[in-house]
Structures are given as structure tokens and as C-alpha cells.
Amino acid sequence: MRGLILAIQFLTRLPTPPLRDFDPAELTRSAVWFPLVGIMIGAVVLTTSWLGARLDPWLGALLGLLAWVWVTGGLHLDGLSDLFDDLGAAHRDPTRLSGVIRDPHIGGMGALALGLQLITKLVLLMLIVREGLWLALLLIPAWGRLGTLIWARLLPPRDPELGERLAWRIPPWAFVGWGLLLLAAAFVWVPVLLLAPLILGFWAIFLHWKVGGMSGDMLGAGTEVSESLLLALACAWALT
């Protein structure tokens, strides 16, 4: 269970038993549990959204968003803001990207991307809550975390960060097993999420075309972007 506990500790603020004799290599091996941790995150978002929706859909959406940010500690939002700061600063000079990536400060483009992402998720959550697509909230965070495994495997690293070493420790069965499980769940509960692999593939193509690789920030940003796109897909499916 050490791998699962480490994955929960890395991706969430959920309470876990303390671990002794920690080896950093264990964290990369724990990545096989990321999709399961995504389901846990989805369960937290689903529960808080459902409780708030007993009074009003907007309240459900707000509570769900607050829970989403809290349970993840804003980990992927930080990656999103950093990536868009990088892209904005290197817009006319792609050779500057590597240098800007290492700057820990948030700039105008990062703040704008962060604000727009939170607004987007709030509105989409309200529509999800209003339409009662509760199980979509359970599956979408899992797809986002499966995406990090796929992108780390497919794309070359930009910098020697933890996120870039995930592919070294991820066995092939993790991709196949989690992918088939999530596809089966989507087929039964939210068929439009069968398109999730296309969304994950889109982000891989975007990173390959725009920056030529990936970093930990780019994996986090991909999680946020894919979650929003999947929420939008689920809303469009429910409203048609």
C-alpha cells in the first residue's frame, strides 16, 4: 500500500498514514495509482457538489470547485499558470522558453489563465450539477491523472523534474488496465467520455508542437485543460 499512500500524499491533501524510510524513487513508482487517486478526488468533488445542490446548483458548483482546489492543493493550477506564463513570455522567441520555465514567479498571462480556468470550471460544474451528471465528476479527474502517465510516456523531457521521470517507472499494464477500466465506466455511465482519449491525445500533440516536450508544469496544466474539456463535453452531451 506504500505506493498508493505516496500517490495520495503527492496529489492530494487527504489524510494518510505516515510512512517511514521514504525513498524518492518510490514516488515515481507510485504513479500507477494516479488514476485511482483521481477517482478519490472526484468522489470529494461529487459529494460536496451534491450537498450544495440540495439548495441551489450554483452553490453546489461553488462548493465543488472549492473542494476541487482544496483536495488537490492547487497543484495542477500552479502548473497551468506557469505554463501560460512561459508561453506568453516566449511567444516571439521560442528559445526563451527553457529560461522562463525556471522562473517561479507568476506573471500576467499566468494569472489570466488561472482566473479563466476557475471561472470555466465553476460554470461547467453548475451545468453538470443542474443536469445531475454526478458520475461524470467521478470519472473526469481520473482521466486527467491517467493523462499525466500518457504524456510522460509519449513526450521527451524539457527539464529534469519529477514529472519527467514518471515514464521510467510506469509499466505498460497501467496504461492498458486503467484505460480499459475508465472506458468501460464511461460506456456504462457517461458515454460521451469515450472521447476522453482524443482529449488526452490533443494535449500531447499541443505540447509536442508548441514546446517540443514536457515538464512537470506541463503535465499539471494538461490535467486542468483536459478536465475542463471533458466537463464541457459532458455538458454538451447532457444538453443535447
Average pLDDT per consecutive 10 residues, the chain (240 residues; last block may be shorter): 92 92 78 96 98 98 98 94 81 57 72 96 98 97 96 81 60 92 97 98 93 87 98 95
Stated pTM of the model: 0.93
Instruction: Please answer whether residues 64 and 159 qualify as being in contact, where contact means their C-beta atoms are separated by less than 8 angstroms.
Output: no
* CA 81 – CA 19 distance, rounded (Å): 31
Question: Quick check: 192 and 149 in contact, CB under 8 A?
Answer: no
d(CA 149, CA 218): 12
pLDDT of residue 37: 98
Question: What is the pLDDT, as a whole number, of residue 36?
Answer: 97
With both helix axes pointing from N to C terminus, report the angle between 216-239 and 75-89 in degrees, rounded to the nearest 10: 110
Cell triple for 94: 521560442
Burial, 55: exposed, middle or buried (Cβ in 10 Å; 0-12, 13-18, 19+)?
Answer: exposed
pLDDT of residue 92: 54
pLDDT score for 98? 55
Q: Where are the domains of the chain?
A: 2-6+26-234
What is the pLDDT, as a whole number, of residue 164?
53
